[in-house]
Amino acid sequence: MIVAKRKPLNEIAEMLAPYKKVTIIGCRSCVAICLAGGEKEVKMLVSALKIKNKRDGRKQQIEGTVVERQCEKEWVQEIEDEILDSDVTLSMACSLGAQTIGDMYPKHLTFPGLNTGIFGVPEEQGVWSENCVGCGNCIIHTTGGICPIARCAKSMLNGPCGGSANRKCEVNLEVDCAWSAIYDRLKLQNRLDLIESVTPAKDWSASHSGGRRVIVREDAKLTQHQKKGKGVT
């Protein structure tokens, strides 16, 4: 899932300070599950800001609400009135949600309440680790199911590097060396020959290097005719 973390209260308060009417919008999907921007976090932030405003003597009207998935226009549309009725919207979704609102209502101000971080897996409650960077060309079938692009500091395709020692990474001794883990996994699977075969340079065109990426599923796209029937253009 997409894992994010709420910005510090003071940073949020400063962002919102010039505005009289604030609507804070959470999201029930990834950011709720990673305990960053669900209904609970929205309610807590609303209360925290109200208490801070009271202490700082600032007058501001703050409302909070939450939508099913903020990255989808249909869900955002359901709270259009609440958005447009405010001077500024603080999105408690990942940046996708914040940008969806921004794109739908370009004249309206939408600010981010979270710092969007990683595609993460919950290691345990409260701990998420980055296991994928969305490079667009998955190779983990050759690396024992462990992604060297996300989990190696140098994103090496042929590893480990000379900085790997005692299964740790030279960048930070707290970080496990991805290639040590790959070696162990391949050994377990009796496929150590894979570590000896050289992987040629990767085609990075599917990654971010080519500018903004778009994934299209032609057969699922609606035709102009269908869109018109739904009143969508």
Pick 35 or 153: Cβ nearer another protein: 35
Tokens representing residue 209 in the block: 């290097």
Q: Which of 33, 104, 109, 156 binds another protein (CB under 8 A)?
A: 33
What sign for the dihedral angle of Cα 49, 54, 56, 62? positive
b/e 160-194 (16+ beta carbons within 10 angstroms → b): beeebeeeebeeeeeebbbbbbbbeebeeeeeeee
Tokens representing residue 152 in the block: 């190696």
What phi and psi values does residue 5 have, to the nearest 5 degrees?
-140, 140
Least distance from another protein to the Cβ atom of residue 118, Å: 17
CA 66, distance to chain mean position in Å, is: 17
On whether the CB atoms of residues 121 and 131 are closer than 8 A, the answer is: yes
User: Which residues inside 50-79 make contact with another protein, applying CB under 8 A?
Assistant: 50-51, 54
Q: Binding segment for another protein among 32-40, 95-103, 144-152, 208-216 (CB under 8 A)?
A: 32-40
Q: Which of 13, 35, 104, 161 binds another protein (CB under 8 A)?
A: 35
In the stretch 172-191, what mask flags binding to another protein with x, by CB under 8 A? --------------------
Least distance from another protein to the Cβ atom of residue 205, Å: 35
Pick 52 or 202: Cβ nearer another protein: 52
CA–CA–CA angle 202, 207, 212 (5° rounding)? 155
Pick 30 or 178: Cβ nearer another protein: 30
Q: Binding segment for another protein among 11-19, 42-50, 133-141, 154-162 (CB under 8 A)?
A: 42-50
User: Is residue 20 within the footprint of another protein (CB under 8 A)?
Assistant: no
- The CA distance from 232 to 33, in Å, is 31
Interacting residues with another protein (CB under 8 A): 28-29, 32-35, 38-41, 43, 47, 50-51, 54, 125
